[in-house]
Amino acid sequence: MFPPPVDGQTAWMIDLACMGDATQIPQFTLDDYEQDFSDRHLLHGVVAKWAKDRPDAAAMVSADGTRTVNWREFDRFTTALASELLQLGFAKGDFLVTFLSMSVDHILLEYSCFKIGVIVAPLDLRLSAAEVLRALELLRPRGFVGLGVKAPFDFRELWRSVQTQCPWIEHGIAVDSEEGIAGTLPFASIAERAWARVKDASSDADADLDSLGVTPNDGALVIFTTGSTGSPKPALLSHRNITVQNMCLCGAFFGGDRGTRALVNLPASHVGGQTELLMSTFFGGGTAVLVEIFEPGRSMRAIAQHRVELLGQIPVMFNLEWMLKDYELHDLSSLKFAAYGGNAVPRPFVDKLAAMAPVIGTGLGLTEAAGFCTYVQANATDKEAIIAGLGQDMPIYACTIRQPMREDGRAGDELRAGDIGHVCFQGPQTFLGYVNDAAATARTISRDGFLYTGDLGFKDAAGLHLTGRDKWVIKSLGYQIFPGDVEAHIFNLDEKVANCVVVGVAHEVVSEAVVAVVEKKAGVELNRRELDRHARSLPSYMRPRHWIVLEPGQMPLNRVVKPDYVRAQQMARQEIATLRARGEWDSVFARDESDGDE
């Protein structure tokens, strides 16, 4: 069980009206995890616990109110569905890739897989067919579960590509499709058989699953992340990685075991949606209110309709909600805690956040650490702790600032307080590794167990502060965009492009927006309209929002005659400052993105 609040000050759930200093965060140790939470080391073990302790309480509800699943139903149905998956031939250690929204059925399927040791890999619905096929090639899953034909989606072409190019997939399962997809099983028929098992009193599915021997150190979930090579890499998380993070986040932000009602509106492919919001809500016996696909107005209405208490989002989602014409009319009085993660924000953002809820928070979250690994919270009337930095780590997952990893693979020396170096963590939240990529794993996890995050920063009495990124990664709309991927696409115009550099520039709505500095070849014409047309084949979040077209020989170069990213970014910032002064930067994007929200 979770410890009581320190001096009554850290628990927003006890007495908000009397709450004083809310900056203290409960500190969890490995002994806490092993002794006090021994029944929650498995993700499906969390469900079993609450099925026993709170059987009739709602575990999840769809935001539109059409479906509610209580803890008893959650546990029984996932046991039955797990048995159906075993009948289909799925086995412990298999991968199952999903291409679904954050729906009730998706979550039931995931937890059914957890019970039999099948590893789930959710993909973003906005991926192109080529990106989906690449993920399937990397994981070689036994099954692929995806949407079919239902407005606004029509994935028939994707299914044909998967069936043609991925012969190792034994089971294609179509979910919520208004038309049959040739060569697939409908999820509805599998679910019907599972419900029949639930109603069959003679079924002994629990005993069958117990014999599989799923352990906390087994892989459970794959979340794709962008690494230093620029290509998404499949990060494998164990039950233990995730439930340690759930214990810490639930104790720090979710009010422990009180049963918090949280909005879950991030994509199922996002560590924020899965391990942070969804699974931490479950860990504390709360209720997850599911918005299948984010839309600002829908999220605001769900808060009012379901009396949501906790809201956690990336900054761009808050910005889009605040831009709603009727934002002030939405009833947000039920909110007790609002948190953001993903990137740094300016003071005006924190001021707006503090107007939404009486307690606000943030921290550093990493896919390779199963989610949050530092924490800070504050009263809405005293926001300095949020402005100051990313807060404190936990004893169970300690943060250190170190020298670069040594050539022999061991971690570099720890630096003194205040010194800038590589931000590292060590402990049970560190992921198992990148699937089928030992080299990338070795570059990220040292031989002595330190996770190198790729961030640079320092620690002091106030906690962790980031000073920059070791990788030239652009964080926009909740995505990590590697400039090399966009540059490679631009270079496909090889008859006209001599050189190019892609950088991120601050943007009030999306945090950072992509700007491309392109040097054209001699004797050719190249303009922004042509470049925009060429970029349309990129995913929308990767497309440059602005182009700087240079004449031959104008690209800034470094001393080894390679493009100088620092000078190119300075060039981009100067040009964007001019656009911003004319009202042609932040506001233009805001209008584009808010169209059709309501």
What integer pLDDT is reported at residue 597 of this predicted model? 33
What integer pLDDT is reported at residue 561 of this predicted model? 52
pLDDT of 22 higher than 60: no
What integer pLDDT is reported at residue 560 of this predicted model? 41
Percent of the chain with pLDDT over 90: 73
Alpha-carbon span 300 to 543, nearest angstrom = 28
Residue 513: strand pairing partners: 505
Alpha-carbon span 577 to 584, nearest angstrom = 10
- Local confidence band at 16 (pLDDT 50, 70, 90 cut-offs): very low
Question: Helix, strand or coil for residue 447?
Answer: coil
Question: Could you check whether 398-469 and 476-594 share the same CATH topology?
Answer: no
What residue spans define the domains of the chain? Answer: 6-388, 398-469, 476-594
pLDDT of 598 higher than 70: no
Query: Tokens at residue 370, please?
Result: 């199963």
- Local confidence band at 106 (pLDDT 50, 70, 90 cut-offs): very high
What integer pLDDT is reported at residue 348 of this predicted model? 86
Residue 62: strand pairing partners: 290
Alpha-carbon span 304 to 325, nearest angstrom = 17
The pTM (predicted TM-score) of the whole model is 0.82
Alpha-carbon span 233 to 266, nearest angstrom = 20
What integer pLDDT is reported at residue 592 of this predicted model? 43
- Local confidence band at 226 (pLDDT 50, 70, 90 cut-offs): low
Alpha-carbon span 255 to 263, nearest angstrom = 15
From its phi and psi, is residue 257 left (phi > 0), alpha (psi between -120 and 50) or beta? alpha
What integer pLDDT is reported at residue 468 of this predicted model? 60
Alpha-carbon span 402 to 502, nearest angstrom = 29
What integer pLDDT is reported at residue 232 of this predicted model? 82
DSSP string for 466-529: EEEESS--EEETTEEE-HHHHHHHHTT-TTTEEEEEEEEEEETTTEEEEEEEEEEPTT----HH
pLDDT of 444 higher than 60: yes
pLDDT tens digits for range 177-196: 998 899 999 999 999 999 99
**Residues 342-371, mean pLDDT to the nearest whole number:** 91
Query: Tokens at residue 255, please?
Result: 């009010």
CB 143 within 8 A of CB 172: yes
The CATH number of 476-594 is 3.30.300.30
Strand boundaries in 298-417, DSSP class E: 310-313, 337-340, 359-362, 365-366, 371-372, 376-379, 398-402
Helix H segments across 89-150? 104-116, 129-139
CATH topology of domain 398-469: Luciferase; domain 3 (2.30.38)
Query: Tokens at residue 457, please?
Result: 């920063």
- Local confidence band at 217 (pLDDT 50, 70, 90 cut-offs): very high
CB 61 within 8 A of CB 306: yes
- Local confidence band at 482 (pLDDT 50, 70, 90 cut-offs): confident
pLDDT tens digits for range 71-96: 999 999 999 999 999 999 999 999 99
Contacts of 417 (CB under 8 A, 6+ apart): 458, 459, 460
Query: Tokens at residue 560, please?
Result: 């080894």
Arithmetic mean of pLDDT over the chain: 89
Cis before 152? omega within 30: yes
Alpha-carbon span 518 to 445, nearest angstrom = 36
CATH topology of domain 6-388: Rossmann fold (3.40.50)
User: 459: burial class by Cβ within 10 Å (0-12, 13-18, 19+)?
Assistant: buried
pLDDT of 203 higher than 80: no
Through-space distance between the first and last CA atoms of the chain, rounded to whole angstroms:
42
Look up tokens 């964080």; give the residue.
Answer: 475
Contacts of 183 (CB under 8 A, 6+ apart): 159, 163, 172
- SS3 of 49-100: the string is HHHHHCCCCEEEEECCCCCEEEHHHHHHHHHHHHHHHHHHCCCCCCEEEEEC
What's the one-letter identity of residue 117? G
What integer pLDDT is reported at residue 589 of this predicted model? 59
pLDDT of 15 higher than 90: no
Least confident interval from 112-126, 139-153, 435-449, 547-561: 547-561
pLDDT tens digits for range 1-10: 766 544 333 4
pLDDT of 480 higher than 90: no
- Local confidence band at 469 (pLDDT 50, 70, 90 cut-offs): low
Helix H segments across 222-322? 239-253, 271, 279-283, 296-306, 315-322
